[in-house]
A and B are shown apart, each in its own frame.
Chain A
Amino acid sequence: MSIELLVAVPILMLCVVAIVQFGLELAGAVIIHQSAVLGAGRCSTIGRVIWSDLDDSTAAAVQLQLTAVNITFTAATDVQVIVQERVFDPATSYTGSSGTWPSGATFAAAPAASTIPADSVRVTVNVRLTKVIPDLLSGFGFNITGDYITASVIRPYNG
């Protein structure tokens, strides 16, 4: 009986912790998506401007949402905000600008710009998983270091 329990309990604990961790991860995905919505909303009202004018206010909108739910970050390796805009018709040719905030954040490549409708902006927010959820499964050999949650939102220019 004791030996069986020694085998069974860690497996059951793994199940419980996995349920909690995946639940938190998906809840975090909704929050990251919401921050991308706010960032895209902010970005879309600025209009057709060059990237250097876009980054601060967009990043501020994203940060505001993230810090409101206690997702804080200090390094460029924790969060990445990618802004891509298409400022030219037809939609088959991408003419626009893009940029990444903070400038040192390079842990995820920018998504393809080909699906952005004309006169629109896409904001992609990538956040390291370790900043969103506790690494509860590391003791069982599952490490989330290096993984991240991503969310993209496209908004038409609106200003």
Chain B
Amino acid sequence: MRIQLTIPSSSPDPRSGVATLWMLLVSLVFVACMQYVLETGWMMVVRAQAQAVAESAALAGARSWGTAATDNAANRTTAKTRATDFVVNSAVNGLTTEYANLLMSLQNSDNAGGTNNNPASPGGCPGTSVSSNLVIFADFDPATRVFSPYVSPASAGRRACMVQFQLTAVSPITQVSRTFQARAAAYWDSAAAPNRSRLVSVTVSCP
């Protein structure tokens, strides 16, 4: 006996809707991929901008301190303010708010009673970790590249400035708060003609 099964033409195709379901699932993966790409790209841009800001601030601080006629607390404060200005006037995502938020902590790193106007205890040896916002002055040896924040006085050709900060900015893509760290050091090269501040990589030395 032969049995023939027939599907009525009015019944739905069992594969109907598969592509839609598949597309919905894959769309979620694509959206996640897109967020990842955009977020990563945005972070690369902000990180590059933050590094440029740190470099400009360090160059400005080193120049201001290096060209000071007298190495005293008032002139060092002026130089630290000069470096701070470069940071707090910068912008991320077209807004200056995030950088402006660093003003208080950067100002607090100016201790007129400390060696080279540095904080007495800035949470460990300054410059060894980017855990705080600091403008640090130091004696810098161009030969060995040793950056010594607590050696004073520094002669005009050995005055160096390090700027480091942690910037917190909200991603315009995911609305997640991200932290960026930047650090740069520069010293005043009085042997160059004309004199100028130079970006350097340093080894930090603390007592």
Are B37 and A19 within 8 A (Cβ)?
yes
Q: How many Å lie between the Cα of A147 and that of B56 in the bound state? A: 29
- Stretch with Cβ within 8 A of B (4 or more), from A54-62, A96-104, A150-158: A150-158
Q: How many Å lie between the Cα of A131 and that of B34 in the bound state? A: 23
Residue in B49, B60, B82 whose beta carbon sits within 8 Å of that of A33 in the complex: B49
Residues of B within 8 A of A47 (CB): 194
Residue in A16, A22, A40, A157 whose beta carbon sits within 8 Å of that of B38 in the complex: A22
Are B41 and A159 within 8 A (Cβ)?
no
Q: How many Å lie between the Cα of A25 and that of B55 in the bound state? A: 25
Most A Cβ at <10 Å: residue of B22, B60, B90? B60
How many chain A residues have a CB neighbour from B under 8 Å?
Answer: 37
Q: Which residue of A lies closest to B90 (CB)?
A: A154
On whether A158 and B48 interact (CB within 8 A), knowing A4-B19, A23-B41, the answer reads no
Are A15 and B34 within 8 A (Cβ)?
yes
- Mask of B1-29 contacts with A, CB within 8 angstroms, 1/0: 00000000000010111111011001100
How many chain B residues have a CB neighbour from A under 8 Å?
Answer: 40
Quote the shortest CB–CB distance from A157 to chain B (angstroms).
8
Q: Which residue of B lies closest to A154 (CB)?
A: B56
Is A66 at the interface (CB under 8 A from chain B)? no
On whether A117 and B82 interact (CB within 8 A), knowing A30-B45, A33-B52, A155-B59, the answer reads yes
Residues of A within 8 A of B194 (CB): 47, 159
Residue in B27, B30, B55, B89 whose beta carbon sits within 8 Å of that of A19 in the complex: B30
Q: Name the 10 nearest CB pairs between A and B, nearest first.
A: A26-B41, A4-B19, A156-B60, A8-B23, A15-B30, A23-B37, A117-B85, A158-B196, A115-B89, A29-B45
* A-B CB contact pairs (8 Å), 16 listed: A1-B18, A4-B18, A7-B23, A11-B27, A19-B34, A22-B34, A26-B41, A33-B49, A34-B48, A120-B60, A120-B86, A153-B56, A154-B90, A156-B59, A158-B59, A159-B196
